[in-house]
Every structure is written in C-alpha cells, then in structure tokens.
C-alpha cells in the first residue's frame, strides 16, 4: 500500500529538548515536504526536498532543520523546541512530474 | 507573494442541498491549482488538479472549475459523508500555498 508514515504521531516535550520527527514514503517519490497546520493559519510549508541531498526552505523554516540522505526518508529536526512550535505537522511526498501530494497522518507536537 | 483565500470559512448544508465553495488566488506563474479533502485528525487527501482557465474536473458529487482568478468546488446533492474541510492550494515554482480551508457540515 502506498503511504507516507510519520512518527511519532503524538509527542509532548519540554522547551529546549531536541527531537526528531521521522517521515518515510514507499512510493519512490523524489519530492518530499514538511508542513505545519495551525488554527487560523492553515497549512504552511517548512522545508522541502527535490531529491537526495537537495533541500530548500519553505515559508516558515525558522527553528527547524531537515536532511535527505536517502530517497525514502525526510526527518524533521527541532534542535531546541519552543512553545510556538506546538502544532500539527504533516509530511508529504510526490513524484517530480505530478502535483498530487500524498500526506502522512500527521504528528501532533506539544512543547511545554 | 502567493495568496490563497477560501470562502466561506464554514458552511452548513442539509443533505441534498447543493452549493459551491470558493478559492480566490493571486500567484505568479501558476503551475496548478489543487483541491484536497481533510477529515478531522487525518492528513489531506487529494481530490483534483486544474491547470488552466476553463478546465473542469468531476468526481462523484464534486466538480471543480478554474478561472484566471478563482476556482470553485461545486457539491451536488451532498451527503453527510461529504462533511470535511476542503482545502485549496496553488503551486508556483516548487512550493504549494494553501488557503485556510472551508469546513463543510452536511446534516441528514
């Protein structure tokens, strides 16, 4: 089954404690992306990657890092989380020649 | 800066009562306009892609249309299972910009 898998699905952490949200896709997609979704602000793009070792900033990259060492994986790293990073995070992927994004189920992060 | 505005923010319909959702956009170099459906606690699910003004796409009770400045998602004779948030997004370059969504509630 084609899918995008994120882990963890739910996480409560404290300010400053580094965390990583993993994302894996099994569709051999070149393009992968991270979004955050907040009430009243909609979905906003954090980072995206066009292929292995190629990453670019989206609209709200501050406080986040990503890496793309393998085609299937695109982890999101919060080096020093702060309460304003409390949000619902989505990973998504697509082929380079299509616009249809496949989304993961989401990771709800709370930073105290 | 690319902008996408969806209206209304929320819409309540009776089962069978047809209506339309609006997505207005400003973008430099539109590569595509996308409609997604999002159920509570889930990731958005792809519905349609429209590429040029005048294009239309249909799927069951949904029909999406596109002009140079806006897109409509028409819902014909909706059922309670159509209740969800509908998201519109535009693609320019390699990024998608999403609107705030329309939360649709269909009562039996």
For the segment A23-43, what is each residue's pLDDT rounded down to a tens digit? 999 999 999 999 999 988 889
Give the integer Cα–Cα distance in Å for A66 and A55.
8
Q: Which residues of A touch B100 (CB under 8 A)?
A: 40-42
Give the integer Cα–Cα distance in Å for B72 and A109.
33
* Residue pairs between chains A and B whose CB atoms are closer than 8 Å: 52
- Mutation for B interface: A94, A97, A100, most B CBs within 10 A: A100
Give the integer Cα–Cα distance in Å for B99 and B8.
11
Which residue, B1, B80, B69, B74, is CA-closest to B33? B69
Report the sign of the C-alpha dihedral through residues B89, B93, B95, B100, in that order: negative
Q: What is the pLDDT of residue B39?
A: 96
| pLDDT confidence tier of residue B47, bands split at 50, 70 and 90 | very high
CB B91 within 8 A of CB A32: no
Overall average pLDDT of the B76-83 stretch = 97
Q: Which residues 54-83 in chain A show a CB within 8 A of chain B?
A: 56, 58-59
Q: What are phi and psi of A51, to 5 degrees?
A: -175, 180
Decide if A101 and B96 are in contact by the 8 Å CB cutoff.
yes
Q: What are phi and psi of B82, to 5 degrees?
A: -80, -5
| pLDDT confidence tier of residue A97, bands split at 50, 70 and 90 | confident
The region of weakest confidence among B14-23, B32-41, B90-99 is B90-99
Q: Is the pLDDT of residue A49 over 80?
A: yes
Q: Which of A40, A48, A106 sits opposite B95 (nearest CB)?
A: A48
Q: What is the pLDDT of residue B95?
A: 81
| Cβ contacts of A95 within 8 Å, gap of 6 or more | A27, A29, A30, A31
Gap from B105 CA to chain A (nearest CA, Å): 18
Percent of chain A with pLDDT over 90: 89
| pLDDT confidence tier of residue B5, bands split at 50, 70 and 90 | very high
Q: Which residues 31-60 in chain B show a CB within 8 A of chain A?
A: 31-32, 34, 36, 41-46, 49
Q: Is the pLDDT of residue B94 over 80?
A: no
| pLDDT confidence tier of residue B93, bands split at 50, 70 and 90 | confident
Q: What is the pLDDT of residue B108?
A: 95
| Cβ contacts of B106 within 8 Å, gap of 6 or more | B12, B13, B14, B15, B78, B79, B80, B81, B82, B83
Q: If you average pLDDT over every residue of chain A, what do you get?
A: 95
């Amino acid at each position: 089954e084609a899918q995008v898998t994120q882990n963890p699905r739910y996480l409560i952490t404290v300010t400053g404690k580094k965390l990583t949200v993993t994302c894996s896709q099994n569709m051999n997609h070149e393009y992968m992306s991270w979004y955050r979704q907040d009430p009243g602000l909609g979905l906003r793009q954090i980072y995206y990657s066009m292929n292995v070792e190629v990453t670019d900033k989206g609209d709200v990259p501050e406080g986040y890092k990503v890496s793309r060492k393998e085609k299937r994986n695109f982890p999101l790293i919060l080096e020093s989380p702060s309460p304003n990073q409390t949000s619902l995070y989505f990973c998504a992927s697509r082929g380079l020649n299509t616009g249809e994004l496949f989304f993961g189920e989401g990771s709800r992060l709370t930073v105290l | 800066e690319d902008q996408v505005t969806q209206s209304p923010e929320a819409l309540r319909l009776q089962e069978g009562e047809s209506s339309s959702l609006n997505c207005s956009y400003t973008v430099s170099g539109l590569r595509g306009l996308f409609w997604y459906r999002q159920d509570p606690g889930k990731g958005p699910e792809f519905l349609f892609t429209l590429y040029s003004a005048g294009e239309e796409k249909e799927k069951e009770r949904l029909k999406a249309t596109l002009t140079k400045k806006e897109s409509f998602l028409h819902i014909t004779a909706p059922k309670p299972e159509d209740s969800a948030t509908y998201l519109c997004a535009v693609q320019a370059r390699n990024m998608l910009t999403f609107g705030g969504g329309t939360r649709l509630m269909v009562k039996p």
